[in-house]
Structure 1
Amino acid sequence: MSIRNFDAIFSPRSIALVGASNEPGTVGRVLAENLLRGGFAGPVMTVNPHEFAIQSTLNYRSIDALPITPDLAVVATPAAAVPGVIGELARRGCRAAVVISAGLGIGKDGRDLKREMLEAARPHLMRIVGPNCIGVISPAKGINASFAHLTPRSGDIALVSQSGAIVTSVLDWADERGIGFSHVMSLGDMGDVDFGDMLDFLAGDRATRSILLYVENVTHAKKFMSAARIAARAKHVVVIKAGRSAEGARAAQSHTGALAGADAVYDAAFRRAGLLRVGQLDEMFEAAATLATRLRVVDDRLTILTNGGGAGVLAVDALDAEGGRLAALSDQAIARLDAVMPAAWSRGNPVDIIGDADGARYAAALEILGEEQDSDAILVINCPTAVASPMQGAQAVADATVQRPQLPILTTWLGGTAAAPARAFFASRKIATFDGPDKAIRAFMHLHRYRRNQEMLMETPAAGVVIGPVDLEAARALVRQALASGRTVLTEPESKQLLSLFGIPIVQTLLAADPEEAGRRFQDVGGPAVLKIVSPAISHKSDVGGVRLNIRSAEEMVAAARTMLESIRQTLPEAPLEGFSVQPMVVRADAQELIAGIASDPTFGPVVLFGRGGKATEVIGDRAIGLPPLNSVLAREMIASTRISRLLAGFRDVPPVPLDRIVDVLIRLSELAVLLPEVAELDINPLLANAGGVIALDARVSVRAVSGAIVSPAIRPYPREFEQPIELADGTPLLLRPIRPEDEAALVAMVERCTPRDLRLRFMGQMRAFPHQTAARFSQIDYDREMALVAMGEPDEAGKLSILGVVRLVSDPENGAAEFAVLVRSDMKGRGLGYRLMTAILDYGRRRGLQRVYGEILRENATMLRMARELGFETEESDPQDDTVKVVVAFDTR
């Protein structure tokens, strides 16, 4: 990932347009008009071999003829000429190009024009946007390097889209509504610059508050996820993903593979990255506007306050359709409302306070409802009537937001002329307002989903925490043995053995080579029993009569096996048959049939699936996808997002299923997906679950040889390999390990035990508090981008470990340089801990392949400056008047 030379794209000093034209109706003409009229402060130079002037501006006949080297070039030549143009520009020293030209694929002559273009740019580190895009727009800089039909106004929303048509549609839609942009980027075919690069840039762009993405496909999932997680921590990121249809799902050998369609995996990836996915273009802007109000909700429970019953019913319908819940009014709230509301009020939620409700009635209701603990937000609806002023109710809402600034309130003032002043009033007070209850409900659910996704973003699970090394090696040996024999599918007994090694409960399963042996196996398992065919060519055994249940004797088992064998040989004569599996018939009262498994996505790598199982699992399609690694929070989120979860919670006289048992299975499958990349697909169907627990009745595993073509997990798990015991000079033993999200409280406690001077030396200024947002950012890190090692001391009286010191290394997107920071608890200073921390983080930097590590140190911090010199850092020249000194150490990367 890299944002190298992005300043040449978004803050160029000069621009060249290669392929400019005076010919009406051409792309070259529109580009010239947009560039020359956009208000760019620097020179715009046009290049066309046949023109003296373009748009009354002196034209240059060649790139060599340009009087200065452009920072940015816009290329709109025929496709065949593009590699040569890029080569000329790169050799001239141009640092970035927006390639508008289309058709840079492999031509009839066998030339791969896109590859040639990139090869021409690469030696000179030139960045390429496109090809096949409409360009780049930065209104605040006066840059319109596109052939869009208008120049948008300046704003704080960034739009990044693969589709040029979507860009122009959004610009037109936004122009009508007065919405402005910080940057607009059409990525086109993403030959070089892609979503990951843009998210990296926009995460640190001060002009951008919200980021809107239109995604058709992601090319580098690990890079995308890392950049998206960084951006989502700092900005609101809203995404539309094209292609929701089931046709995007690939063919698979298992139920899990079939259910884990591409769109479902993208959905899981967006949620895990903290992005908010929406379905329509207008929703994109609605969501950005709603998030910008800074309203925050805890859950999806909504209270509806209305003066019209019909409007309240519409809101309830919309809430149900969106998956939200009506908040339950407490008995105390109902009693208080009874005392101040008309006798005909609804006495429930929606709270209908009757059509003649004035401002005082709205105010009284809001005062009571605002104190309800089981409500996450209030939607206030007003329907125009002849007996009450809409503005009175609006003022009551505004007053309530002043009295309770943290109370999430959304408003819908229905109507046209009568409601317009109230909506304008709300807008002026920055109170969320909508012209219909459906849009307000959608906004509320956007807030809920965004909050949920932000919580998922902060989860950083460990890998290798529940599987012992002996069992892991046995599992690897089992897979190696199957691959060595030329098989890509494990037998059912092998599949269940693999599950057992990973700690997943299985039913006893024995293999029989023929009907007679199946009869003998009946005696081993006891009756009643289940018989299944074993064949690598038969994925779904019940579909071909390959399963018999409730067999009660050895004789019945032999007969059933002979009948099954004959039937399958007639139906599938080419299918290789390896025998039968025999297992006890498991009957559990009130059990639910679930499915759990692993699939391999070509973009995001391994994914974990959970849902409703059984024969009709693909037809029902009730499933959730998660990206490994998982922890208990993420696993429970997966379960809760399925419809079957309602049955698992218990109903009527059916007791609930202990979810921790299912959570444990999902975590173990997640570990298997990370630690055994040889497993391409895995099915547990059914995973039987009832109040007594869970058990895997059937399993199927597809394996593959590990190669460079296997896509690794899109999210890096907790790097356990960096854990190590250390010892201070006085013999004190400590544990040095990467920081984890659950370390937030310990990190805050450590900062509280540091002196004001030590904090000032570390943070370059006075540090009066260490708020949750800062502590969360420091403890919930992306291990692909940064590393923080903490030194853990002995547990306290409550059994909690304390952090004695922390050292951090944050690398740039190119992974070339990284900045360090270190803090030792004040009472631990002078014992050599800082030196041990710095040594460890520098070793990590070398292993990571960094070229250099640097840091800023206050001149008065003599101790840190001396330690930096001892560690090999050199001081860069700086103004003696500066308060800080920059120290740098370079690594030998040969």
Structure 2
Amino acid sequence: MADLSSFFAPHSVAVIGASRTPGKIGYAIVDNIIKSGFAGTIVPINPREQEILGHRCYSRITEAPGPIDMAVISVPAAKAVDAVEDCARAGVKNLVIITAGFKEVGKEGLALEKQIVAICRENNITMLGPNCVGMMDTHTPLNASFAVNFPRRGDIAFISQSGAMLVAILDWSQYTGLGFSKVISLGNKAYLTESHFIDAVAADPNTRVVLCYIEDVTDGKHFLEVARRASRKKPVIILKSGTSQAGAQAASSHTGALAGSDLAYDTAFRQTGIIRAGTMAELFDLAIAFSKQPVPRGKRVAVVTNAGGPGIVTTDRIENQGLEMARFAKETVDFLRQNLPAESNIYNPVDVLGDANVDRYQIALQKTLTDPHVDSAVVLVCPTAVTDASSIARVIIDEHRKVPEKPVFAAYMGGESLAAGAKKLNDAGIPCYTFPETAIDAIKGMSHYRQILQRPASAGEPRPDNLYPDTVKQIFQKARQDNRVVLLGSEAVQVMQAYGIPCAPTELATTSDHAVELAEKMGYPLVMKIASPKILHKTDVGGVKIGLRDAVEVKKAFAEIMENVTRLLPNTEIYGIEIQKMMPRGTEIIIGMIKDVQFGPLIACGLGGIYVNLLKDVSFRLADGLTRAEIEEMLSETKAYTLLRGYRGEKPADIKTIVDMIARTACLVSDFGEISEIDINPVFAYPTGARALDVKITIA
């Protein structure tokens, strides 16, 4: 973890490119630092000025009295390298480079950016940017940016790759009253990245929830390490725009075809405990919820409403989001029956009726919130002639204070007549929305985070035994010597066997006599397949024969396969014909891997066979740190799992062996980064054991 303590709380800040002209970026930065209430030393740097906004100005940072903890650079890109070199000479350890004109504009800018990074690395300088808005810490306090607004002090950290998004949110927060602990504009992420800042703010005592807007991840492996660690400390919520490159290339395997463009990020976020927001609204709705309310202990939600229709809508949303309608204890039901009108619904949702006054809300809330079967509550208020929105808000606040460990949300479903009550709730830390779906979605996000916290921490699992990487190296070396990137089927089976993955016996025959010899050794029946890395779909060219039962059939099949292939593909290199022991049918599944550009190998499993791409019953996980518990969870997400457990009287398959095969595949692709794709389809799963039949491996 990078130590960013002096970055967020410097004792002195220099502004290189400071200006005394309003409207200039250099002026705005100095002005913002002053107005933020920064208590340290402010050092403007400008060779043409003596003083800026009441602070003595220096020609160069090397002339200023030190030490200087941070320098904010706002000079043209062509002069930025000299400015960074001056900072290195002056012993500055933290830089914020506002200046644009680097890699975002082309080769020349990229060259300048690389020079700056090299200077920073050589002199142990941390650097934010370039091409960024800056950074803010409301608790230091410090506003080292050119943003118009300095946010209220709060406990939400916001990290944004988009400067425009950041300044828009800051402006919006002034209107809504939302407070932040830290705000970071990442810019080009040339040195410090989203991972460094997620790590830092997750350890920050002033931060309760971490928000990010990102368009990509700079270092996938570092991100995974940080995300796993950070998500156990604080909820980390990310809005990711754009797509990864997993599956963007034309993939030759089933696994590649199944991998969606944004799959790798979805998988990485889920596996590391990141909560993914789908929209900006959801990002900040969740931020408010986590900032203001405790995480619920479970999924059981109570609803109190003065209108039946909204209560039904809320109930539907609860069930659709995988939450549960709380079932009240008998004592709660009896109390509500005795104290609410006979027409009221005393079960969940509790309908206090349209003519409800504040007393009915209090009766309903005081009992439902203390019910042991309730984990969270949503209060719905629709405007009627007798609705006193402010008084109801006071009751909600008072009753929540009695049970502070249970989150409470409100939906004031109206406009001006409910505005004062809604404001009272928000000011008291009870999120109040216009519609109930937003409240339920927030509870869903918080409930999901509770599940993340309840996951056992991965301490690393022992590697499977009987792994022989040297054998795999030799096979890959032979393929490279032949200028091949696709292994022959027999070679792929040897790779599987070297890592303890059971396969149907497969051998390569170069002549018909050799084929008979191998067949007699294996035993019948057999399958024969053409062996050529250029032929992906062997059946299309008459390159497969099945059910062969004696030497005569083997010789005949060998001749027919060779004739079919040479006639249709006369110039294709053929290595021979593979002889494979024909296995009894089992439950067909697929195990595969495709390489993501950011996060590395993605392991897939699901329903296999000829309909794999049609049904797309598959689940993915990152190979990095994959545990057996995660593999079992991955399997359980597929329809194939229902078949594996035994369907309509069928015996259950050996799921333990399937899990072991996936774990060994994850080890294989982790050990050999040159593997770009693996496709094992089908795998026949039996009540005892399993066998891989068709294996394709592509290497870089």
Q: Using the alignment, how far apart are the partners of 1:505 and 1:297 within structure 2? A: 45
Q: Secondary structure at the match of 1:576?
A: coil
1:504 Cα deviation after fit: 3.2
Instruction: Give the match for residue 169 of structure 1.
Output: 168
Q: Secondary structure at the match of 2:592?
A: strand
> Cα deviation per residue 1:263-312 (whole Å; 9 max; x = unaligned)?
32233333333322212222222222222345444665656665545334
Instruction: Give the match for residue 273 of structure 2.
Output: 274
Q: Secondary structure at the match of 1:287?
A: helix
1:635 Cα deviation after fit: 1.6
Q: Using the alignment, how far apart are the partners of 2:145 and 2:194 within structure 1? A: 19
Q: Using the alignment, how far apart are the partners of 1:15 and 1:630 within structure 2? A: 44
Q: Aligned in 2, Cα 1:367/1:596: closer, same or farther, shift over 3 Å?
A: farther
8 Å contact kept, 1:135–1:186: yes
Q: Using the alignment, how far apart are the partners of 1:78 and 1:611 within structure 2? A: 54
Q: Figure out how many residues of one structure are paired with residues of the other and give that number.
A: 696
Letter in 2 for 1:631: T
1:695 Cα deviation after fit: 3.5
**1:97 and 2:92 matched:** no
Q: Using the alignment, how far apart are the partners of 1:371 and 1:694 within structure 2? A: 50
1:489 Cα deviation after fit: 3.3
Instruction: Give the match for residue 183 of structure 1.
Output: 182
Instruction: Give the match for residue 872 of structure 1.
Output: none
1:87 Cα deviation after fit: 0.8
Q: Aligned in 2, Cα 1:365/1:162: closer, same or farther, shift over 3 Å?
A: closer
Q: Using the alignment, how far apart are the partners of 2:332 and 2:542 within structure 1? A: 60
Instruction: Give the match for residue 628 of structure 1.
Output: 624
Q: Aligned in 2, Cα 1:679/1:280: closer, same or farther, shift over 3 Å?
A: same
Q: Using the alignment, how far apart are the partners of 2:552 and 2:168 within structure 1? A: 72
Q: Secondary structure at the match of 1:233?
A: coil
- How do 1:266-345 and structure 2 match up within 5 A? 266-293=265-292, 295-297=294-296, 308-315=307-314, 317-319=316-318, 322=321, 324-326=322-324
Letter in 2 for 1:230: R
**1:538 and 2:524 matched:** no
Letter in 2 for 1:181: F
Instruction: Give the match for residue 574 of structure 2.
Output: 577
Letter in 2 for 1:629: G
**1:493 and 2:499 matched:** no
**1:664 and 2:663 matched:** no
Q: Secondary structure at the match of 1:83?
A: helix
TM-score, structure 1 as length reference: 0.67
Q: In the alignment, which of 4, 10, 13 is matched to residue 11 of structure 2?
A: 13
Q: Using the alignment, how far apart are the partners of 1:551 and 1:181 within structure 2? A: 72
**1:595 and 2:590 matched:** yes
Q: Using the alignment, how far apart are the partners of 1:361 and 1:388 within structure 2? A: 11
8 Å contact kept, 1:229–1:457: no
Q: Secondary structure at the match of 2:621?
A: strand
Instruction: Give the match for residue 159 of structure 1.
Output: 158
> Cα deviation per residue 1:452-493 (whole Å; 9 max; x = unaligned)?
3334572223132x2236x55555555555556654433223
Instruction: Give the match for residue 2 of structure 2.
Output: 2
Q: Aligned in 2, Cα 1:47/1:393: closer, same or farther, shift over 3 Å?
A: closer
Q: Using the alignment, how far apart are the partners of 1:526 and 1:332 within structure 2? A: 69
Q: Aligned in 2, Cα 1:539/1:347: closer, same or farther, shift over 3 Å?
A: farther
- How do 1:694-773 and structure 2 match up within 5 A? 694-703=690-699
Instruction: Give the match for residue 603 of structure 2.
Output: 608
Q: Aligned in 2, Cα 1:320/1:305: closer, same or farther, shift over 3 Å?
A: same
8 Å contact kept, 1:384–1:414: yes
Q: Using the alignment, how far apart are the partners of 1:526 and 1:357 within structure 2? A: 82
8 Å contact kept, 1:532–1:546: yes
**1:639 and 2:635 matched:** yes
Letter in 1 for 2:193: D
Letter in 2 for 1:256: T
Q: Using the alignment, how far apart are the partners of 2:437 and 2:129 within structure 1? A: 38
Letter in 2 for 1:284: L
Q: Aligned in 2, Cα 1:39/1:573: closer, same or farther, shift over 3 Å?
A: farther
> Cα deviation per residue 1:431-457 (whole Å; 9 max; x = unaligned)?
454332221221122123223333457
**1:468 and 2:466 matched:** yes
> Cα deviation per residue 1:137-191 (whole Å; 9 max; x = unaligned)?
2233342222222222222222222222222122122222111222211122222
Instruction: Give the match for residue 74 of structure 1.
Output: 72
Q: Using the alignment, how far apart are the partners of 2:368 and 2:41 within structure 1? A: 63
Q: Aligned in 2, Cα 1:664/1:184: closer, same or farther, shift over 3 Å?
A: same
1:86 Cα deviation after fit: 1.0
Q: Using the alignment, how far apart are the partners of 2:560 and 2:461 within structure 1? A: 49
Q: Using the alignment, how far apart are the partners of 1:548 and 1:13 within structure 2? A: 78
Where do 5+ consecutive residues of structure 2 fail to align? Answer: none
> Cα deviation per residue 1:402-442 (whole Å; 9 max; x = unaligned)?
67655555443433355546545654664454332221221
**1:44 and 2:39 matched:** no
1:91 Cα deviation after fit: 0.8
- When structure 1 is superposed on structure 2, of 548-557 and 445-454 the one drifting more is 548-557
Q: Secondary structure at the match of 1:140?
A: coil
Q: Using the alignment, how far apart are the partners of 1:234 and 1:457 within structure 2? A: 14
> Cα deviation per residue 1:354-395 (whole Å; 9 max; x = unaligned)?
66677659956995897686x865555454556777789778
8 Å contact kept, 2:318–2:325: no
8 Å contact kept, 1:413–1:423: yes
Q: Secondary structure at the match of 1:292?
A: helix
8 Å contact kept, 1:629–1:674: no
Letter in 1 for 2:126: R
1:68 Cα deviation after fit: 4.9
> Cα deviation per residue 1:685-738 (whole Å; 9 max; x = unaligned)?
22344766643232122345xxxxxxxxxxxxxxxxxxxxxxxxxxxxxxxxxx
- When structure 1 is superposed on structure 2, of 189-198 and 291-300 the one drifting more is 291-300
> Cα deviation per residue 1:217-257 (whole Å; 9 max; x = unaligned)?
33333433333333333323222222247787345453334
Q: Using the alignment, how far apart are the partners of 1:245 and 1:309 within structure 2? A: 45
Where do 5+ consecutive residues of structure 1 fail to align? Answer: 705-894
- How do 1:400-411 and structure 2 match up within 5 A? 406-407=405-406, 410-411=409-410
- How do 1:342-491 and structure 2 match up within 5 A? 377=376, 379-385=378-384, 406-407=405-406, 410-417=409-416, 419-420=418-419, 423-424=422-423, 426-427=425-426, 430-431=429-430, 433-456=432-455, 458-464=457-463, 466-468=464-466, 471=468, 474-475=471-472, 478-479=475-476, 482=479, 487-491=484-488
Instruction: Give the match for residue 757 of structure 1.
Output: none
Instruction: Give the match for residue 681 of structure 2.
Output: 685
Q: Secondary structure at the match of 1:608?
A: strand
- When structure 1 is superposed on structure 2, of 260-269 and 125-134 the one drifting more is 260-269
TM-score, structure 2 as length reference: 0.83
Q: Aligned in 2, Cα 1:400/1:671: closer, same or farther, shift over 3 Å?
A: farther
1:85 Cα deviation after fit: 1.3
Instruction: Give the match for residue 748 of structure 1.
Output: none
Letter in 1 for 2:263: A
Which structure is higher in RCO with an 8 Å CA cutoff and minimum separation 6? 2
1:198 Cα deviation after fit: 2.0
> Cα deviation per residue 1:55-110 (whole Å; 9 max; x = unaligned)?
57654444444355532211122212111111112112222221112223497779
Q: Aligned in 2, Cα 1:193/1:384: closer, same or farther, shift over 3 Å?
A: same
Instruction: Give the match for residue 802 of structure 1.
Output: none
Q: Using the alignment, how far apart are the partners of 1:46 and 1:485 within structure 2? A: 64
Q: Secondary structure at the match of 2:231?
A: helix
Q: Using the alignment, how far apart are the partners of 2:512 and 2:194 within structure 1? A: 58
- When structure 1 is superposed on structure 2, of 93-102 and 28-37 the one drifting more is 28-37
Letter in 2 for 1:609: A
8 Å contact kept, 2:19–2:52: yes
Percentage of pairs with the same residue = 33
Letter in 2 for 1:440: A
Q: Using the alignment, how far apart are the partners of 1:443 and 1:395 within structure 2? A: 22
Q: Using the alignment, how far apart are the partners of 2:564 and 2:432 within structure 1? A: 66
